[in-house]
A and B are shown apart, each in its own frame.
Chain A
Amino acid sequence: MTETGKILLVEDSEQDVELTLGALGQHNLANEVVVVRDGEQALDYLYCRGNFSGRSTGNPVVVLLDIKLPKVDGLEVLQQLRNDDALKRMPVVMLTSSREERDIVRSYNLGVNAYVVKPVEFQSFVEAIRELGLFWAVLNQPPPLAQ
C-alpha cells in the first residue's frame, strides 16, 4: 500500500499537464500525481506492465482521464477498466474540454464517476482541480481492493 493516495492523470497536452499540476500544486497535491500521456500508458500503469511493470503495486485513488488521447482514447480506457473485475470499481473522473452530449452520455453509460469540463477561466480551473483532488484524494473512501 505504498502508493495509496496517488492520482493518475491521463493527459496528452503538455500545457494541460502543467496547468493541472500547477493547480494541484497550489494545494499541495502535486506530489501525489502520476502523469501518463496516452491511454495505452494509462492501461500499462494500471496493469503494471510495459514501462510500469516494475512499479510498486497499489491503485490510484482516482484516475483523471481526458477523452481525446493518442492511441487508446479515454472512453476505451474507461471501458476496459469497467470490464475488468479487478479495476471496475476504480473511481474515474473525465477531465475534458468536450461539452459534447454524446461524450457525456457515453461516459456515464460506461460508469464514469464524474464528468468535469475544463473551465476556460484559469481560476475556475484551479478551483475545479483543487476540489477534485481534495475530494478524491482526501475525502473519498476508495473501494476495497478486488482481490
Chain B
Amino acid sequence: MVLRAAPEPRDTFERICRASALTWRVGAWDGGLSMSQSSPGAANANQRFAGLEAELEAERDLIAVLARVARLATESDARGLSDEAARLLGAEVAAVTASFEGDSVVQSEDVTQDARFQSGALHAALPPADRLVRSYLALPLRGADGAVVGGLVFSDARVGAFGARQARAAQAMAAVIGPVFESARQLRQSHATEARLREANDSYALSQRRFEQVLDSVDDLIFCKDERLRVTYANAATCRYYGVSQEELRGITDVPFNEIDFTQQYNADDRQVFLSGEPVERVEEPNQARDGRTRYFHTVKSPIFDARGKAVELVGVSRNVTERKRAADDQKNLAAVSAILAESIDYEQTLANVARAMVPSVADWCAIDVLEDGAIRRIAVVHNDPGKVALAHELERKYPTPMDAATGVPAVIRSGKAELVPIIPDELLVAAARDEDHLRLIRALGLHGYIAVPMLAHGHVLGAISLVGEGERTFDERDLAFAEKLARRAGAALENSLLYQEVRQLNETLEMKVEQRTASLIEANRELESFSYTVSHDLRAPIRHVSGFVDLLRLHAAPQLDDKGHHYLNTIKQASVQMGALIDGLLAFSRLGRAELSKRPVSLLDLVRSVVQELKPETHSRRVEWSIGELPTVLADAGMLRLVISNLLTNAVKYTQRRDDARIAVDSESNEHEHVIWVKDNGAGFNMDYAHKLFGVFQRLHSEKEFAGTGIGLATARRVINRHDGRIWAESTPNQGATFFVSLPRQAAAVRPDSDATGAPGSHHEKADS
C-alpha cells in the first residue's frame, strides 16, 4: 500500500476527531490506523477546526508528538489494526486510497452494496457485530499549493451515515488539516536539518578536543607558525619544555632565552618551508630552554596548505634526542678512547693521549694519575690553554694534594669510589685552599663541574681520571657513568700494559735462558763431537798398538812360547781386533747422525746385486740360494742405503750359516705412498718377544759365541732409514728364519725400473747359487 503523503499520527487524528466531534469511526490509511470517538454533535466543527489550527501552529513539538504516535502505532498495534482494517475494509481499501490519487472524494452509503468495494461477499460473511463499516467517506488532504499530502477516512457501521452535511464538515476539516500537515512536515524537516547541524557542531568540537588531547599527550614538541613566523599553536609538551603558557607562546617569533644563533637558524628554516612548500628536517637541532642547558632535537617542519594550495602555516614536530646524542657521543668518545688504548702498549703515552681526547669534547680539563708503589704520580694534565696547564703544574708543585685528603684524587684512589660535584661552590675552594695565594690560584683555574673516577682492574685501583668543566659546563650522573666507563677501559688497558711489560721481562729472561741453554747445548755437542773424535783417534791407537805388538811379540818370541803362550797371544789378538771393530762401528754410527743426506735415485736392484757380489767371499764355502725380486728405484743417499742393505744381507748370510740349504730372498711391494722392501731368510730367527731390542745400539739377541757381531748394524740401519723418513721392522719365528722390512716413502723422483729391462713378466725373480 503505497501512499504519497505520509501522515503520521494517530493523535493528530485524535485531535481532529475530538475537534470535529465526529461520532463516527475515523480511520487513516497509514497502516490502517483506526479509532473511534463518540462525541455528540458536530455543529460547531468549523470553530473547533479553527482552534485546532491555532493549536497545531502553537504546538512546537508537533513533530515529536507525531513521531511518538507513529512509533506507538507502528510498534504496538499497527499490524493488528492493519489486519483489522483489512478485515473490515477488505480489498476496498486499495480502491479507496486510489481515489485520493485522483484528488476526489469517495463516498459510499453502504460499502456492502457498493460495486467499487466489491466486498459484499466478504462483508456479508462477517457476523453482524463485526460489520463495523457500512458507510464510508474518504477525502484528500491538500497542502498550500493544492498538492495532495494525505487523506482522511471516515467510516460508520450504519448505512448512510454520511450525508451532505457530514461531507461538508469533513471537507472543511480536511481543508484545515492539510496545510497543518504540510507545515508540520516542513517544520519537522527543518528540525531535522538543525539537528544534523547541531550534531555536526558537536562532532567537530569533539574532534577538536580529541586532537588537542592527542597533541598534549605526546612528549614531542608540536607547534604551528603562520607566514610571519608567529606561533599560532603550541602543544603542552612545548609549553612544559619552555616553561611558559600557550598564551605566552602564541604570537611570538622566538623564545627569548634561546641563543640568538639558534633562533636565526629556526627562522631561516621556517622561511624555507613557506618558500619551498617542502618539509625541512634537522636531525640534531640545538636548543636552550630556561635552564640554559643545550639540548638537541630532531625537528621536522612541514607546510600546511589552504584550499588553494598556498602554504599558510607550518607545523613543527621536535623530538628531544639529547639523550640519544649523548649516548652516541659517549660511544664515539669511548670508541676513540678504545682506539687510542689499542694503539700502543706504552701506557704513559697512551693515557696522555686518552686525556687529550677528552678535551674539550667531554671536559675542559682532564688529568690522569696512577698509583705506583703506593705513591700517586700524575701522568697527564690536559687543557686547551697551555698557560692553564702550567698553572695547574705550578699549583701541584707548590701545594701537592696530601695523600690523606678527604676528597679529590687521593680519596678516589684510596676508596675506589667516584666523586661527582656538578657545580663546585666557592666555599669548597675556600675550604680546600691552604692560604690566600692558593685560593687565588685555584680560583684562577675557573673550575665549575668536577668528576673523579678510579681506574679499576679486577678490583684493584690503578689510578684515577679527573674531569673538570669550566664556565657553564656542569656534570650529571650520566657524565659520571660515561667517566666510569672510560676509566674501566683505561684501567683494563693499563693493566694489560703492565702485564705486557711483565711478560716482556719474563720473555727477555726466557730468551736469555734459551740462549744460555742453546749455548750449553752447542757446547755439549761440541764436546760430544770432540769425544767421538778422541775415540776415533786415541781409542783406536792403543788397540792398534796391542794388536801390533802382539804380532811383533809372536815374531820375536815364537820359539820360546809353548802352546798355552800362543793361545794367550791369540786371545789378546782376537780381543783387540773385536775392540777395533766395535770402535769402527760406533764411529760409523755416530757419523751417520751428523752426515748430510745426499739423495738421488738409487736402483735397489743394482745395489742388492752389488752387495750380494761383495758377500761372495763369505759364502763361497756354503750353499746359499739367493732370490732377488723386482726392486724399485728409490730416492735416497746411496752410501747410506748401501750400509742398510749390506747390514741386512750380511745378517741373513750370518744367521743362515748353520743351514745346509740357506735361502735368502729380497723382494718389494709398492703402493702410492711407499715402497716396502724385505729380506727374508730361513736362518736362526729370533723370538718376537725381543723384537723391540733388535734395533738398539749394542743390543744382541744371540751370544757372541753363537754369531759374531757388534750389535751396531741394525741400529745403523734404523738410523739411516729414519733419516729417510722410512720405517724398519722385523718378523720372525725362532729357527724358522726372519724377515726384515724396510719402508721408504715414495717421492716424485722415485721411479720403478722398467720391467722390460728385467725380462718378460713372471721372470722377475732371478736365482743365483753361490
Q: Is the CB of A15 within 8 A of B548?
A: yes
Q: Mark A1-30, 1 if CB is under 8 A from B, else 0.
A: 000000000000101100100100000000
Contact present for B591 and A97 (CB under 8 Å) = no
Known: A16-B541, A121-B577. A99 touches B548 (CB 8 A): no
Question: How far is B540's CA from A118's CA once the two chains are assembled, in angstroms?
Answer: 9
Judge whether A96 is part of the interface by a CB distance below 8 angstroms. yes
Task: Tell me the interface secondary structure of chain B in the complex.
Answer: helix
Q: Are A120 and B547 also in contact (CB < 8 A) when A13-B541, A68-B537, A97-B540 are?
A: yes
Residues of B within 8 A of A16 (CB): 541, 544-545
The complex places the Cα of A120 from the Cα of B542 at a distance, in Å, of 9
Within 8 A of A (CB), among B510-553: 533, 536-538, 540-545, 547-552
A101 near B: Cβ within 8 Å? Answer: yes
Provide the main secondary structure of the chain A interface: loop
CA distance A16 to B542 in the complex (A): 9
Q: Is B549's CB under 8 angstroms from A99's CB?
A: no
**Contact of B576 with A by CB under 8 A:** yes
B121 contacts partner chain A, Cβ-Cβ < 8 Å: no
Question: CB < 8 Å: which of B537, B540, B543, B595 contacts A101?
Answer: B595
B279 close to chain A: CB less than 8 A: no
Residues of chain B within 8 A of A99, CB atoms compared: 536, 584, 587
Q: Which of A98, A118, A122, A123 has the most CB of B within 10 A?
A: A122
B544 partner residues in chain A, CB cutoff 8 A: 16, 19, 97, 118-120, 122, 125
Interface of chain A residues 88 through 106 with chain B (CB within 8 A): 96-101
Interface residues of A in 37-53 (CB under 8 A from B): none
Bound-state Cα–Cα, A99 to B587, Å: 9
For the complex formed, measure the closest distance between the CB of A123 and the CB atoms of chain B, giving whole angstroms. 7
What residues on A are CB-neighbors of B587 within 8 Å?
Answer: 99
Q: How far is the CA of A42 from the CA of B552 in the complex (A)?
A: 28
Contacts of B90 in A (CB 8 A): none
Interface size bracket, A side: 20 to 34
Q: Which residues of A contact B551 (CB under 8 A)?
A: 122-123
Query: Are A97's CB and B545's CB within 8 A?
Result: no
> Which chain A residues (74-127) contact chain B, with CB distance < 8 Å?
96-101, 118-123, 125
Give the Cβ gap from A103 to chain B, nearest Cβ, in Å.
9
**Contact B533 A98, beta carbon cutoff 8 Å:** yes
Contact of B548 with A19 in the complex, beta carbons under 8 Å: yes
Whole-angstrom CA separation of A121 from B580 in the bound complex: 9
Cα–Cα, bound, A15→B538 (Å): 12
Q: How far is the CA of A99 from the CA of B540 in the complex (A)?
A: 11
Contact of B548 among A68, A98, A101, A122 (CB under 8 A): A122
User: Are B541 and A97 closer than 8 Å at their CB atoms?
Assistant: yes
B545 and A15 within 8 A (CB): yes
Whether B549 lies near A96 (C-beta < 8 A) is no
Q: Is the CB of B545 within 8 A of A19?
A: yes
A128 vs chain B, min Cβ distance (A):
11
With CB as the reference atom, state the residue of chain B lying closest to A14. B545
Residue of B nearest to A68 (CB): B537
Contact partner, B549, options A19, A67, A119, A121, Cβ 8 Å: A19
CB contact between B547 and one of A98, A101, A121 (< 8 Å): that residue: A121
Q: Least Cβ distance of B570 to chain A in Å?
A: 13
Q: How far is the CA of A98 from the CA of B591 in the complex (A)?
A: 12
Residue from A96, A120, A121 with most neighbouring chain B CB atoms (10 Å): A120
A43 to B552, CA, bound (A): 32
Q: Which of B541, B549, B577, B591 has the most chain A CB within a 10 Å cutoff?
A: B541
Q: Which residues of A contact B591 (CB under 8 A)?
A: 100-101
* Nearest CB on B from A9, distance (A): 15
Contact with A along B485-513 (1 / 0, CB 8 A): 00000000000000000000000000000
Whether A122 contacts B550 in the complex (CB less than 8 A), given A19-B544, A99-B587, comes out as yes
Closest CB-CB distance, B592 to chain A, in whole Å? 11
Inside 8 A of A67's CB, which chain B residues have their CB?
A: 537
Supply 29 A–B pairs (Cβ within 8 Å), ascending by A.
Answer: A13-B541, A13-B545, A15-B542, A15-B548, A16-B544, A19-B544, A19-B549, A19-B552, A67-B537, A97-B540, A98-B533, A99-B536, A99-B584, A99-B587, A100-B533, A100-B536, A118-B541, A120-B540, A120-B577, A120-B580, A121-B577, A121-B580, A122-B544, A122-B547, A122-B549, A122-B550, A123-B551, A125-B544, A125-B548
List chain A positions with a Cβ less than 8 A from chain B.
13, 15-16, 19, 22, 67-68, 96-101, 118-123, 125
In the complex, given contacts A97-B544, A120-B543, A125-B548, what are 6 additional A-B residue pairs having Cβ atoms less than 8 angstroms apart?
Answer: A22-B548, A98-B537, A99-B536, A119-B544, A120-B540, A121-B580
The 10 closest A-B pairs by CB, nearest first: A120-B580, A122-B551, A122-B548, A15-B545, A19-B548, A97-B537, A97-B540, A122-B547, A120-B544, A68-B537
